[in-house]
Chain A
Amino acid sequence: MHTKWFKHLLLLALLVVAACGRPAPRLTGEVERTDEWPAEFIEQFGSLELQHEGRVMPFSTLAASTLYAVHGRRDVQFLTTGKDGKDRTVKLSPTEWLLDVWCFPLQAARYPLFRIENVAVLSALGFLHEGQTQGFEYLPYEQLVASGGKLQELHEQYIEKHVTIRSPVESQLVHLYQQLVLYHRLHNQLATLQGEIGLEGDDLRAIFGGDERVTLATVLREAKAFRAFVLKAGEKFEDPQFGNLGNVLHFLSEVANSTGPLLMPPVLPAEQKDSWHSLPQVVDVAIRGNPEPAHAALLDSLQKGLLAKTMAQRVEHLTAFRRGVEAAATARGEHANVALESYYYRANWHFHAMMTFVLAFVLAVIACVLPRNKTMWWAAMGTTATALCLLIADVWIRCLITGHPPIGRLYDTFLFIGGTGALTLLIAEFVLSRRIALVLAPFLGGLMILLARLFEVADGADTMKPLQAVLLSNFWLAVHVPTMNLGYAASVAAALVGGAWIVVRACRIDHPDSPLAKSLARMNYGVTCFGLATAVVGTILGGVWANESWGRFWGWDPKENGAMLICLSQIAVLHARMSGLVRDAGFALWSVATGMMVVFSWFHTNLLGVGLHAYGFSSELLTGVWASYSILGAVMLVGVVDRLLRPAPAPFPVEPSAAAAVWPAAE
């Protein structure tokens, strides 16, 4: 009986894996970078410190979040022709990709990067296409930027419409423009460093030791002499006696187009200067007569790295640049955190936790198939506990890096709810070991980590970005937010247990009056009670915090209402159970309905575009929300139909003696 379900699950898993496969698009044109980036260098350069969006982070984090935002995937894949003339698939990690963008901008501009899901987007931009297919189109920057004007025009038109009323194609066009701008900034950031300018006039050349061509770094190195020359020229910089000074000044002014992450650490301690320098700032300060030798040296290494002819030279210079930045960041006390973050992403604890949860799930299913085997029970339990430890380690390191309690951003909630939900179910399994919670615990833990990873890529933002001013209260972040999310976790766990009860009844896995079903009902009740206690306390604490921050305890804000819906629903179902309005079936259905309210409160309220908790709209998240509603609604429908059509299913035929032991007397 159990193996039948196992086969179906396996088939479904194979179908999902098959559906996720994708053919890699082909890279057109010549390949500039013929050698691969050395793996050791990539690992080390990934930990290069830089400042972006208000915090100092490793290069790898910037690369990953940008790639997710622009490409919507964790790597860049394309087909190219190898040296042997055969096709080969190239797979670039985020760090390799961003290094290519900076060091080989022409090649990177031809990478198939911008995903087009709907061909109507191509039509709107004037691209020819062969109609909608199952796969996605990937446009390179080179091609998309050619239609940049049209895209900008459409963006200006649709950005006026409120995000919640844009059509899917309009939303994609707006999103595509934002992706293009993001990439364009990175593409241009070091463009000035890629170029050099020829010098005319002996006096001008004399400043640079007689060189006929100079780079930005060279100008910065001789900034004092160059400034004196410029001052001497005054407004007559176009006079032939000053050579082509005008062109050189124009060349320098182009650096102002460089925007993006801040690469130059200040020489002052962090307490005196918390903001890093951008390239234009460094040039500006130098030309104004206060050149910073450390910055000139760093820029020199960076420029040499970008312009190097061989991979070995490139690696050497970029490593020198990284070491220089690292030394400055260490002196400012910013290195340790970046090193930890770099380790965090390399170690990938939550991914290992997810895989361990998958293993635990398989073991738990086997433990169900072999109900008398205690070893399997312990194996599944131990593996789930190990996965939980890995997840806790992951969250712990995040806390150390950010300096905040476990939850500060939406991404964090997935990990926290996955962990606490799995722990709740494990405790339930200890109290009532019927092996169902043993299956559900790793399922929930693994699912939440998977969702976290999908959200990370879909959101395309730094998952440790600095918090808003109102959230910068570690006390309330540590008290209200985890308590509330514990309420979410327990309610999700209760919905899973309720769903399991419905499945057990509808699929005739066991009779509703069997010990298994009764255990599930008991478990559902216990988890709901725990969920209610934490949700109520979390909701009230949220009100107390709001009173402390905004001057009102309750403002009928969508997020507040969502939390209250969960509390009301759970209070109602517990009273309904006590008063006999619902029994096991009703309780299970109600738990699943409460699960829908959790989805509403957790995500949907953020997407309504109103209130103090509207963090931004994401069509991917909205799709996830409706998918969750649909799945939970389908489970409820199955439960209701089954309950209406088969009020009391007959028990499975069992041995008379066994039946007496299994079925309790009818009430």
Chain B
Amino acid sequence: MTAIPTIPTTSPKRLPALGAQILGWLGSMKLAVWLLVALTLLTWLGTLAQTSRSTYDVQREYFESWFVIAELPLSVWNIGWFPDAQGVPWTLRIPLPGAFPVMALLCLNLIVGGFVRIKWHRRNSGILVTHGGILLLLISGFVKLNYSHSGMLGVFEWPQDGNQHPDRLYETSRFVNSNDDELALLIDRGDSIEERVIPEQQLWAARGDGSVTLAAEGLPFQVQIRHWIDHAQALPKGPMVKTLKPVVDGVFLRALQWPQGEQPRSEHEFSGCYVTILGQEQERSEGVLLSGRLAPFDKARYPFTFTVKGQRYGLELRRVTRDLPFSLRLDKFQKRDHPGTLSPMDFRSFVQATDSTGSQEAQVFMNNPLRRDGYVVYQSGWGPQVNGVPRGGPPWYSEFEVSYNPSDIWPMLACFVIFAGLALHFLMKLSRFLKSSTRTSLHA
């Protein structure tokens, strides 16, 4: 006899009660407190983590994650506790929820507790406005995270005499992502190069002892990726150098090591991997790929090339690039120092942005970006220089940070809303307190 499966039933009255309970929990202030405490802890630990990791890595691990094992080096008054042989203090490992679940729950808590369950009363108007501002801030953060992109762009001064150096970039509409890499398969079509691109995330499975095999549609070979290293450096293999990694053409990869105490800078960290071409009749089977920030001023490219069945191919690990809807040209770069010093007081670029509708001349300098077609171009750096001292110029070049963010000005609006809400609420409370008998009873 087969047992009839029972379906758990809920009384019609219990379901709404449970819903109300969940809603009550979700909107409770106690949950808000614990979430805020968790976020405080995450922020603090994430800040300390930056002393040994790049800000970008910490951001991904602590603030754009679901779970994190936070590390707290035990050090007081710059004296490490229980140090190891290298003098590195003992590190406490604390498992914590990442910022994603905390922020998501906080957002839910804000909506349920701050809008749904709160009494819509004149007394709470300041709180409601403040919560509205915070919600706008969180939404703008969400939009920024998912729908924005940014990168770097650099161009040399346009030569007045028309003598352009063949490898230098003077005008461009492409900008380079500061952190993300991609692997491009280049196919030589004679008069053009066909590109097939995959993002680096798909290659992360090749970290450590793993491997990833890539097959391109219609092509007679496969590419195997091994020993993926997030922050790699390529070194020549000398007789005194020992390594467990394969050596290809006298070169091997290893994890980049920054000097102790110095914060790694993500823009100088490049991924690397070993590739093996799996197929027939290949002329070359193994190679080492190392990403590099495609120097915005350098048109030259150096892919790993191989030939299969007489067809030439290339593999290029590189920073992700994007197109601007306009091109940017640097007409002139100008730098002014504080008198008698080499410390810059002002550096600015006289640029020309051109698209099919025409040209726009603008000056870009600190706190004065160029805004056009939803993109914002900021003055970021200049060169050639060594530690802020001009070296090797002219011609000068300018580096620009390029950003596309649909929620660009929302935080400013949120700021006004939050300020109005808090001011309204606290002033109302103060006014009530000043009029109440509580104050009289507490007054000396």
Contact = CB atoms under 8 A, between A and B. Distances in A.
B419 A276 contact: no
A561 B47 contact: yes
Contacts of B44: 561, 565, 600
Interface stretch (B154-162, B216-224, B325-333, B435-443): B435-443
A551 B403 contact: yes
A576 B443 CA distance: 26
A162 B261 contact: yes
Interface in A509-549: 515, 518-519, 522, 526, 529-530, 532-533, 536-537, 540-541, 543-545, 547-549
24 contacts: A51-B340, A55-B338, A161-B260, A162-B262, A275-B339, A431-B434, A432-B443, A433-B444, A434-B443, A466-B345, A469-B347, A515-B442, A532-B422, A544-B411, A545-B367, A552-B403, A553-B405, A556-B58, A572-B40, A575-B32, A608-B48, A609-B262, A610-B55, A611-B263
A605 B47 contact: yes
B39 to A, nearest CB: 6
A419 interface: no
B313 to A, nearest CB: 37
Interface string A542-583: 011101111111111110011011001101100110110100
A145 interface: no
A626 interface: yes
A470 B367 contact: yes
B346 interface: yes
Interface in A467-518: 468-470, 472-473, 476, 515, 518
A257 interface: no
A274 interface: yes
Size class of the A contact interface (CB-based, 8 Å): 35 or more
A473 B346 CA distance: 11
Contacts of A545: 367
Interface string B316-351: 000000000000000000000111110111110000
A348 to B, nearest CB: 27
A644 interface: no
Interface stretch (B164-172, B242-250, B423-431): B423-431
A19 B442 CA distance: 42
Given A371-B444, A547-B411, A549-B366, A533 B261 contact: no
Interface in B112-151: 137, 140-141, 144, 150
A435 B30 CA distance: 34
A467 to B, nearest CB: 9
Contact of A553 (B76, B144, B343): B144
Given A54-B340, A431-B434, 5 more contacts: A54-B341, A164-B78, A561-B47, A572-B40, A608-B50
B58 A262 contact: no
B376 interface: yes
A564 B137 CA distance: 13
B421 to A, nearest CB: 9
Among the interface residues A431, A434, A473, which one has the most CB atoms of the partner chain B within 10 A?
A: A431
A469 B345 contact: yes
A556 B33 CA distance: 22
A550 B339 contact: no
Contacts of A530: 426
Interface of B: 28-30, 32-33, 36-37, 39-40, 43-44, 46-48, 50-51, 55, 58-59, 63, 76-78, 87, 137, 140-141, 144, 150, 259-263, 337-341, 343-347, 365-367, 369, 376, 378, 380, 401-403, 405, 408, 411-412, 414-415, 418-419, 422-423, 426, 429-430, 433-434, 438-439, 441-444
A622 interface: yes
A470 B346 CA distance: 8
A550 B401 contact: yes
Interface in A438-481: 466, 468-470, 472-473, 476
B39 A568 contact: yes
Contacts of A549: 366-367, 378
B37 A572 contact: yes
A163 interface: yes
A518 B376 contact: no
A558 B422 contact: no
Q: Which 3 A-B pairs have the closest CB atoms?
A: A162-B261, A54-B338, A579-B29
Contact of A274 (B140, B339, B380, B422): B339
A254 interface: no
A562 B344 CA distance: 28
B347 to A, nearest CB: 6
Contacts of B30: 579, 581
Nearest to B148: A552
Nearest to A164: B261
Given A162-B261, A581-B30, A556 B46 contact: yes
Nearest to B58: A556
Contacts of B338: 53-55, 466
A611 B55 contact: yes
B33 A572 contact: yes
Contacts of A551: 150, 369, 376, 378, 380, 401-403
A15 interface: no
B63 A556 contact: yes
Contacts, number: 203
Contact of B367 (A473, A533, A572): A473
Contacts of A556: 46-47, 50, 55, 58-59, 63
B442 A432 contact: yes
Given A549-B366, A549-B378, A608-B51, A540 B415 contact: yes
Given A518-B442, A536-B418, A576 B402 contact: no
Contacts of B259: 162
Among the interface residues B78, B150, B418, B430, which one has the most CB atoms of the partner chain A within 10 A?
A: B78
B37 A533 contact: no
Nearest to A619: B78
A165 interface: yes
B29 A578 contact: yes
A264 B378 CA distance: 38
B43 to A, nearest CB: 5
B417 to A, nearest CB: 10
Contacts of B87: 165
A553 B414 CA distance: 12
A279 to B, nearest CB: 13
A25 B424 CA distance: 62
Contacts of B378: 549-551
Contact of A572 (B36, B262, B433): B36
A430 to B, nearest CB: 11
Contacts of A433: 443-444
A571 B36 contact: yes
Given A275-B340, A575-B29, A469 B346 contact: yes
Given A476-B367, A556-B59, A162 B260 contact: yes
Contacts of A532: 422
A230 to B, nearest CB: 29
B343 A54 contact: yes
A50 to B, nearest CB: 10
B406 to A, nearest CB: 13
Interface in A134-184: 161-165
Contacts of B150: 551-552
A434 B441 CA distance: 11
A55 B339 contact: yes
A622 B79 CA distance: 12
Interface string A308-325: 000000000000000000
A526 B28 CA distance: 23
Contacts of A664: 441
A265 to B, nearest CB: 11
A559 B185 CA distance: 42
Nearest to B59: A556
A554 B46 CA distance: 14
Among the interface residues A433, A545, A568, which one has the most CB atoms of the partner chain B within 10 A?
A: A568
Contacts of A537: 415, 418-419, 422
A470 B141 CA distance: 24
Nearest to A374: B444
